[in-house]
Amino acid sequence: MRTLCSSTLIGEFFVIGFAGLVAMKDPDLSAATVWTVSGIAMFLCLVLCGMVTRPGGVALGWALQVALIASGFAVPTMFFLGAIFAALWWASVHYGRKIDEAKARFAAESASSAPDAA
């Protein structure tokens, strides 16, 4: 799960950075506000890469997905991109857990079928 979720978060890191560049063109938003919000969100993406397998990591990832969709109020394209990344996040969590379960099952079967070295 960690690899899939981290890949999604790294993709989001770049999308948030590019969305910040687009938001800079909005005369109603100050550069400080845009880069403070974008910087915090980008930092969270990186921190969540390491927290994904810890308790609450997936929930924080979902909160980031909601925030990414909500950023569509500043950059309308982010409604679409946020929804795409939310779907990718769901797929990463869902299929990542299935892969982890299959790996654990395979490891248990390998350990039980291996002859004792004693």
The Cα 13–Cα 8 span in angstroms is 9
Q: In angstroms, what CA-CA distances link 95 with 9, 19, 23, 84?
A: 15, 28, 33, 16
Q: Is 2 helix (H, G, I), strand (E, B) or coil?
A: helix
pLDDT in tens, 14-23: 999 999 999 9
Q: Find out whether 88 and 5 touch, Cβ atoms under 8 Å.
A: no
Q: For helices 77-113 and 57-70, what crossing angle results, to 10°?
A: 160
Give the model's pLDDT for residue 97: 92
The pTM for the full model equals 0.84
State the average pLDDT over residues 48-66. 93
pLDDT at 48 over 70: yes
